Amino acid sequence: VLEQLKEKALKRAGLKEEDVLQRVQERTDARKNKEYERSDAIRKDLAKVGIALMDSPEGTTWRPAIPLALQEPVTTTP
């Protein structure tokens, strides 16, 4: 089921899995070089098209997500 969701997310984003993995590697390199603004920009660019990055001690993986433009804004009340 996850593979089907990943395929749909890639199609919606107009990307191939290789493209996402390349962006993950670019982000990993940016983090190693302490280029945090670049790292954050890569994460945000992917989130805009419905690709969420998940960091763990073993590395970064991706999963399908709702594109940022389609998410409802979160409001907080004091």
Q: Among all chains, which residue has been given the structure tokens 């594109």?
A: 67
| Residue 67 to residue 58: CA distance in whole angstroms | 25
| Residue 26 to residue 4: CA distance in whole angstroms | 25
3-state secondary structure of 62: strand
pLDDT tens digit sequence for 36-63: 999 999 999 999 999 999 999 999 999 9
User: What confidence score (pLDDT) does residue 23 get?
Assistant: 96
pLDDT tens digit sequence for 8-29: 999 988 999 999 999 999 999 9
pTM for the model: 0.81
Q: Helices marked H in the chain — which ranges?
A: 2-13, 17-32, 36-48
In this predicted structure, the answer to whether residue 71 has a pLDDT above a threshold of 70 is: no
